[in-house]
Structure 1
Amino acid sequence: MVDAEVLSILKTDLQISSSALDDYLFTLIESAKEYIQREGIVLTESRGDGMLVEMYAAYLYRKRREEKAEMPRMLRWEMNNRVFSQKGAKDNG
């Protein structure tokens, strides 16, 4: 999934219809990729990875706007599963 597709889904998730925040949201998408990769996850262009990036970018957006925005459990769960899956594939390969 390319960044433009991730942006479209992110805007829908955040209920943003204008393009006024697109530059900021693209920055969040890039930051989300960096943070995810820092966890040891290798990202691809797949829909699953695109959705993971979108979830993380949405979390970053909400974190700055809400006082007590903790990382959603579904996001942490997905990242943990991705790390274990990728490490398991390396160990078996």
Structure 2
Amino acid sequence: MEVSTVLSLLQVDLGELHPSEQRLAYLTQVIRAAQSFMEREGISLNDSAEDLQLVELYAAYLVRKRATQEAMPRMLRWALNNRLFHQKTQSGGGPGV
């Protein structure tokens, strides 16, 4: 997955168009963490626009959560579940489906 594309989307979402090098490194790490968290849930990511956006949404949540301690938005949880369900139905089912 192209981290630089997700990073650009994340910067716009957060309103951080000219972050420092340290902030860029942090945001890049958050993107990688979001990818890992999603893969741990069983989601196989690809370079589709949908997956890029989903990783960006998850990363933005992680950045904002750090400041507010809010629970995961229902919209994001729904999107993750929907993505996993779609993946399982495309692969012919499997455990949990």
- The TM-score with structure 2 as length reference comes to 0.88
State how far apart, in whole Å, the 2-side matches of 1:47 and 1:3 are.
Answer: 13
Q: Which residue of 2 aligns with 1:87?
A: 88
Q: Which residue of 2 aligns with 1:6?
A: 6
Quote the sequence identity (%).
Answer: 46
| Segment of structure 1 superposing worse, 69-78 or 53-62 | 69-78
**Deviation (angstroms), 1:90:** 1.4
State how far apart, in whole Å, the 2-side matches of 1:26 and 1:8 are.
Answer: 10
How many residues get paired?
91
State how far apart, in whole Å, the 1-side matches of 2:42 and 2:30 are.
Answer: 19
State how far apart, in whole Å, the 2-side matches of 1:2 and 1:83 are.
Answer: 20
Q: Which residue of 2 aligns with 1:63?
A: 65
Residues 12-70 of structure 1: CA deviation (Å, up to 9, x unaligned): 10111223110000000000000001111000011110001000000000010114x11
Query: What root-mean-square deviation, in Å, do the aligned CA atoms of Structure 1 and Structure 2 show?
Result: 1.2
SS in 1 for 2:92: helix
State how far apart, in whole Å, the 1-side matches of 2:25 and 2:8 are.
Answer: 13
Note the residue ranges of structure 1 that are not aligned, 5 or more in a row: none
State how far apart, in whole Å, the 2-side matches of 1:40 and 1:82 are.
Answer: 10
Runs of 4 or more, structure 1, over 2 Å off, are: none
Q: Which residue of 2 aligns with 1:73?
A: 74
- The TM-score with structure 1 as length reference comes to 0.91
Note the residue ranges of structure 2 that are not aligned, 5 or more in a row: none
